[in-house]
Amino acid sequence: MAEKETENKSRLNRHRGDFKWHGIKTRRYKLQGGDWAHVIRRVIIGHKGESAKFHLRYFEISPGGYTSLEKHRHEHVVICVRGKGKVRTENKMNTMNYLDTLYIAPLAPHQLRNPYDEPFGFFCIVNARRDKPRPLK
């Protein structure tokens, strides 16, 4: 469930190390569906009453894990901040390294994977109001 504060206030989300922030809960990537594995998310901005038109989330894919192959009308900005990973956008496969930044266009099929031995962590910025992903298989 989304956590809400009653007021939109400025706040510092202090980093605690190991890509965790004070007051930010670790959650499963998605609440349902079986087309992904070994992914967690942390919503840093977007679930505590902010009026921002965007959400900032941190995702981490463990070795061997992957996100859903999906598409949707909203766009993403993905910034690699830990390890490296593979990203499929449309019909291309690329490797993302530290601070590589990826723009995923609306309706572009995409999936992120971690075939490496270390966690693949990335910030993901999305519209605050967005449509539900459509799985592709």
Distances (CA, A) of 35 to 31, 38, 48, 94, 137: 12, 11, 29, 21, 9
Strand partners, 134: 71
Active-site residue 124, yes or no?
yes
Active-site hit among 124, 128, 132, 135: 124
- Record the tokens describing residue 8, joined without a space: 């939109």
List Cβ neighbours of 55 (8 Å cut-off, separation of 6 or more).
43, 45, 46, 47, 125, 126, 127, 128
Query: By three-state DSSP, how is residue 89 classified?
Result: strand
Active site residues: 124
